[in-house]
Structure 1
Amino acid sequence: MLRSSLFVHLVWLGALLMSAIANAGEPEQELRAAAMEGDAARIMTLLEQGAGLESRDGDGRTALMLATRHNRVEAARVLIDAGADVNAKDRIHDSPYLYAGASGFNDILALTLAHGADLASTNRYGGTALIPAAERGHVDTVNMLIAAGVNVNHINRLHWTALMEAIVLGQGGPAHTRIVALLLDAGADPNIADADGITPLQHARQRGYTKMVSLLEQAGGR
């Protein structure tokens, strides 16, 4: 009888301990959920109650990273004002700054740039924020990143620059043509070839992108 009572007591203590552990994580889970939902008021309340600002989910994403992924501007603003790290990378090496730049989420990008964004930081492909922004045709984003001082001649692991990606992965339309012009005006080298030795001008000619060809030739492309 004593042994049975002791067993029940131990089970009860174990359940109590597990509950305490679970409850200890709840404020952080709530914070991340509020960030995804864009609930800025809830975020402020949770932070005042001591929720961990830099706590991470199973994929290594902070509340700010989740707010950024869902383009929750006010939530991101509250978190950044509270001191959230705009350069905190998740398991796939995205940070709020890098993700905002790649996605063209310019309001959040501006917040990260004003709060210590690491312009030299790179994503899992070894590219700066400027490279995917150029690839995806985010003209205003490219403008912002150039103005911030991101290296326009950075080469990623595919041996492509932002200029190369705008040509090879774009469709030759107005947005990508404008980006090519912006990059060249900012000092992008038109003769940095890809890993096979093919230059931006050669790629543009192969694709029949006549306006890009003209821009590259005027910039000294070969």
Structure 2
Amino acid sequence: MTAERPRTSRCACLAVGVALLLICALWAGCKSIHRAAREGNVAAVKRMLKLGVDPSKRSWKNSTPLHGAAGGGHLEVVRLLVEQGADVNRRCDTYQTPLHFAAQVGHPEVVTYLLDHGADISRALHETAYQGHVEIARILLEQGADINEKGQGETTPLEVAVSYGQFDLVKFLLTRGAKDDAKRACGATALEVAVERGHVDNVRRLLRGRANVNSQGIDGNGATALHVAASRDDVAIGRILLEHGADPALKCDGWPVRPRSEEFRKLLEQSRPVP
């Protein structure tokens, strides 16, 4: 009996060592599966999944391998992870899902696949509006996305596209019926945002789409797009607004439009009807 104790002890130590190696391998796999997914390394992802690595394992920023694969446009890896049970609606620290990653970067095949496998479509149109991906927007609308959905700060996809100067997407959203008079939390419309950003092309597009040139309420003080143009001393946009019927007499905080430069003052005087 005494002669077998060392052998039993060695076996126990060996078992513990194997267990520790397996734990280390799994821990390393949890880290490296994110990298493999981001890089589209199908073989590496398969290998780690066979080791038992969780396909929905969170990184230190709480993103999952599926976030990385979707953002990288790696459809085969996306498919592999989903088939292994990855959560298509898991949110990371920025509250984005894998669909949001794919929509923002612009990967139509990945977007379509995720939607076909239960991805929540909400706010995906906002995500693609940042980068102006018209094709992604078309797919999302065909799949039932709300073109006038309110996101953070009550912003709509149209306002996001306007804010980021995505001219082609602005045109597309307007042709598909986006409301150009929808107001965000501070009261601004898409037209006022376009003026604030100095985006002349978007100002013209919105006005052609019959945006209300005299809409008031930005920041709750009654400002119109013309007030914004005057505060920026943007004569070019001020002229466009006046040509489309902007009223300089409308008041913001009790004051009509107040020009900051002589050039803007002359512009306002020229626009006044002759008595």
After TM superposition, the score normalised by the length of structure 1 is 0.75
Residue type of the partner of 2:100? R
CA distance in 2, matches of 1:124, 1:101: 16
Aligned with residue 200 of structure 2, among 133, 139, 152: 139
Distance 2:102 2:141 in 1: 14
> Which residue of structure 2 aligns with residue 220 of structure 1?
272
One of 25, 38, 48 as aligned partner of 2:89? 25
Alpha-carbon distance in 2 for matches of 1:68, 1:213: 36
Gaps of 5+ in 2: 1-55, 58-83
Secondary structure of 1:87's aligned partner: coil
Percent identity of equivalent pairs? 32
TM-score (norm 2): 0.61
- Aligned counterpart in structure 2 of residue 45 of structure 1, from 113, 120, 132: 113
CA distance in structure 2 between the aligned counterparts of 1:37 and 1:104, rounded to whole angstroms: 16
Query: Is residue 101 of structure 1 aligned with residue 153 of structure 2?
Result: no
Alignment of 1:55-94 (within 5 A): 62-94=123-155
Q: CA deviation at 1:125?
A: 1.4
State the AA in 2 paired with 1:129: A
Displacement of 1:22: 7.0
Alignment: residue pair count: 187
- Structure number with the bigger relative contact order (C-alpha 8 A, sep ≥ 6) is 1
Partners in 2 of 1:111 and 1:69 — Cα distance?
14
Q: Does the 8 Å contact 2:102/2:110 carry over to 1?
A: yes
Give the conservation status (yes or no) of the 8 Å contact 2:103–2:125. Answer: yes
Give distance in 2, aligned partners of 1:115 and 1:95.
Answer: 14
Distance apart, 1:196 and its partner CA: 3.5
- Give the secondary structure class of the aligned counterpart of 1:32: helix
Using the alignment, how far apart are the partners of 1:135 and 1:44 within structure 2? 35
Q: Which has the larger radius of gyration?
A: 2
- The residue number in structure 1 matching 2:226 is 163
1:208 equivalent to 2:269? Answer no
Deviation of 1:81 (Å): 3.3
Q: Read off the aligned partner of 2:107 and give its amino acid letter.
A: D
Q: Which of 178-187 and 107-116 deviates more? A: 107-116
Residues 98 and 122, structure 1, Cα contact 8 Å, conserved in 2: no
Unaligned 5+ segments in structure 1 are 1-17, 55-61
Is the aligned partner of 1:34 residue 2:102? yes
